[in-house]
């Protein structure tokens, strides 16, 4: 599609990914409306339909999501509303006005037992309420509307919001010793890169399910170590195991996503997770 000529709606626009999509579209000179829950509660079907019909959009990009993995175990209803019902309502509304629809999912739809990067053809088996809610959203969207794009991603970090990087920096200010798990393995993903490749993919008019994470594989320990070395932290970093912490939700041990499909379609190499952190850190310092 011609993004520059499209009338675009972004939901969940104040989050990390929404922020980066907005700034790329701004730089392209695109016409878009950015909403968050105050402007449009995407869990309310009638509100969604009315808003989309009035706007008569060509493209809807849904960045709204429930991302608190542990809280979701007890807050199941709200988690499913945001991660399953909301994208379904938006897909139905997009279908009504014949707009292309894009939404995002997670590596947590997998159980982590494969031991190799997951492709789009691998069978999901989520082990948490969060993962199950995201999988339900995927299924509802892809079954509802054939001009939908669902992009799974992993360990997202961006300049506009809290994430594992900001957590590590906060912990490093308060403690001289840190224990970070080394048995959760995937790939940290810079939200700017995800936004950039999402928009590149839209130009190709290919729909369906895609994986996107920054290149390379890392544990949470590796991610923390890379960032702490970058800032010259003088403390001591220790390896830990997930079982050392009292977490409510199970996590997949190995959930790296294979992103070859999107790389091939777009015709560009995805940057490494280290490059993502480097660029994120430059921006973080510039604020």
Instruction: Return the pLDDT at 287.
Output: 79
Residue 221 is assigned to a structural domain of this protein: no
Q: How far apart are CA 240 and CA 153, in angstroms?
A: 24
Q: Does 74 map to a domain?
A: yes
pLDDT in tens, 188-219: 999 999 999 999 999 999 999 999 999 999 99
Structural domain includes residue 95: yes
Alpha carbon of 155 to those of 60, 97, 191, 236, 286: distances in Å?
23, 33, 9, 24, 23
Query: 248 lies in a domain?
Result: no
Tell me which residue range forms the domain holding 46: 3-162+187-216+256-271
pLDDT in tens, 98-130: 999 999 999 999 999 999 999 999 999 999 999
In a domain, 42, yes or no: yes
pLDDT for res 258: 98
For the chain, which ranges sit under pLDDT 70? none
Number of domains in the chain: 1
Sign of the CA dihedral with 245 first, then 251, 254, and 255 last? negative
Task: Please give the pLDDT value at position 218.
Answer: 98
Decide if 130 is catalytic: yes
Q: What is the CATH number of the domain that holds 69?
A: 3.40.50.720
DSSP 168: H
243 within domain boundaries:
no
Q: How far is CA 104 from the centre of its chain?
A: 6
Closest CA to 106 of 153, 63, 156, 64: 153
Q: Does 169 map to a domain? A: no
- List 104, 118, 130, 145, catalytic entry: 130
- Any domain includes 69: yes
């Amino acid at each position: 599609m011609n993004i520059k000529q499209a009338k675009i709606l972004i939901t969940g626009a104040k989050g990390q990914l929404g922020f980066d999509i907005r700034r790329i579209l701004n730089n392209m000179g695109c016409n878009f409306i950015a909403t968050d829950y105050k402007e449009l509660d995407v869990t309310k079907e009638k509100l969604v339909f009315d808003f989309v019909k009035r706007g008569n959009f060509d493209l809807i990009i849904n960045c709204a999501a429930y991302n608190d993995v542990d809280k979701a175990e007890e807050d199941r209803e709200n988690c499913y509303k945001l991660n399953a019902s909301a994208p379904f309502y938006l897909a139905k509304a997009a279908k009504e006005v014949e707009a292309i629809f894009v939404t995002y999912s997670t590596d947590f739809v997998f159980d982590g037992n494969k031991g190799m990067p997951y492709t789009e053809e691998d069978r999901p088996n989520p082990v948490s309420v969060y993962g199950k809610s995201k999988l339900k959203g995927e299924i509802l969207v892809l079954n509802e509307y054939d001009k939908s794009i669902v992009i799974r991603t992993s360990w997202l970090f961006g300049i506009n919001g809290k994430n594992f990087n900001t957590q590590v920096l906060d912990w490093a200010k308060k403690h001289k010793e840190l224990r970070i798990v080394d048995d959760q393995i995937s790939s940290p993903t810079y939200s700017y890169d995800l936004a950039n490749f999402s928009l590149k993919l839209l130009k190709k008019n290919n729909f369906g399910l895609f994986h996107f994470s920054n290149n390379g594989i890392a544990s949470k320990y590796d991610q923390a170590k890379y960032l702490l070395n970058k800032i010259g932290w003088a403390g001591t970093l220790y390896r830990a195991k997930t079982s050392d912490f009292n977490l409510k939700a199970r996590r997949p041990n190995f959930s790296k996503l294979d992103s070859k499909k999107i790389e091939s379609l777009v015709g560009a190499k995805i940057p490494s997770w280290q490059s993502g952190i480097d660029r994120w850190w430059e921006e973080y310092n510039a604020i």
